[in-house]
Structure 1
């Protein structure tokens, strides 16, 4: 088994290697990675977070984050990418959490595509982060191999660092007994169901990245349905409380009628 080490990277040669790794992961043309070496050099020199994960000395993952509002409380993790098979993503998040806590921060935020199941499971189930905002067309259109020219709707998640760290075996998400399915998968397509329940399940397609390559029309239908359902619920003030069975967001709508006695 490879020995994994996570540490900050600052030198141009290593930053260039991070740039090349991001190009490989995102499938972009040379010079078009999500974060270039020059930008990372400036961020690192200014005291922000740029780290790499190394398996037996080979770069297999990296993450870039910068201080964000509220100043003194929040770190925003802009880019994290890792090759499969090394558990580098989780190791980077653990390192990032320790780095932030050592600087007196209490929260890390980042965005992710809410249609990607593995990312939703990782962020919500393994780390315990929670979506707090739905951002429509946040980066415009990206024509890399991951986004496939689709609208870049994103969920902004917040990871509160005052709670427990990442769980090796996370407990299953609690699904209320009265939960109804607000968005489901039928023959590969999204089906919008009831939205008036206090507890809802919002399904995620099995493989949106493959769908973008093989059926762009179906992928667009999923984007619009997720925007309507999950985006609409978050805009109303509903809370995502977990990710159930690697397939569904658990969403709780707060009722104005459920007020405490005074």
Structure 2
């Protein structure tokens, strides 16, 4: 049984160091920084198996364009505990605490070609993405990110909105496909791109399901996917669409895009 609790003391925060090293292979964040964050609107939640910490989420107060939000900066889980819905549990606990503290939105970033993260962020949590950040963190040398530009989607999770809290009503089978994918030796490559005026209500775009596998097998194909998706996602966002859902398949996964102004992003009544 995994237990979750908010971390607020120096002793609590010292426990994060091992996970930070194991997950990202990097020096841990200074405790004086994380402690200051939680004393000023930040939220750090630990996931525990009995008394042992096996995962955490870390967010600090953010402010932009006269809006306050929680910037969810890190979520890490020990390898043997992944794919057990612990990440989802951490995010939902973060949502509850954030609402209690007065936040209406949580923002964070993820690599749009990491479909496991996309499925959690969009399909399960019902966050949306309409901001694309080219090479957001510059050259990253950790095991997950090295070798490619660190492009990111910025998730906006409207935690009290009708979009998040109400049942889904969009029929994703009506999505107009924007590309076709060919599979060679288990590696997907985009063979056809449908040029569109981007006027339909709903679009679908296929991406590789396991991007880390592509990176390990063929760096050239991985770079092609990075640059292709950079262009089409930016085109969609400029045209007023937002990524709202991800449908996984065997070798690929399909992003779903709808007009952002059709979403119920206001407070739940």
Q: TM-score, normalised by structure 1?
A: 0.83
**Separation of aligned partners in 2, 1:165 and 1:177:** 19
Report what 2:106 is aligned to: 108
Alignment CA distance shift 1:253-1:194 (3 Å):
farther
CA RMSD, aligned part only? 2.7
Secondary structure of residue in 1 paired with 2:99:
helix
**Separation of aligned partners in 2, 1:50 and 1:178:** 38
**Separation of aligned partners in 1, 2:145 and 2:257:** 25
Report what 1:260 is aligned to: none
Residue 248 (structure 1) aligned with residue 248 (structure 2):
no
Report what 2:157 is aligned to: 159
Report what 1:200 is aligned to: 203
Q: TM-score, normalised by structure 2?
A: 0.81
Secondary structure of residue in 2 paired with 1:204:
strand
Higher strand proportion, which one? 2
8 Å CA contact 1:182, 1:200 repeated in 2: no
5+ residue gaps in structure 2? 262-269
5+ residue gaps in structure 1? 256-262
8 Å CA contact 2:130, 2:241 repeated in 1: no
How far off is 1:112 after superposition? 0.6
Report what 2:141 is aligned to: 143
Secondary structure of residue in 2 paired with 1:69:
strand
8 Å CA contact 1:18, 1:37 repeated in 2: no
Alignment CA distance shift 1:201-1:120 (3 Å):
same
| Correspondence list, 1:194-233, <5 A | 194-196=194-196, 197=198, 198=200, 199-233=202-236
**Separation of aligned partners in 1, 2:139 and 2:209:** 22
Aligned residues: 247
Among 219, 237, 241, the residue aligned to 1:238: 241
**Separation of aligned partners in 2, 1:164 and 1:54:** 32
Alignment CA distance shift 1:185-1:56 (3 Å):
farther
**Separation of aligned partners in 1, 2:34 and 2:177:** 45
How far off is 1:98 after superposition? 0.8
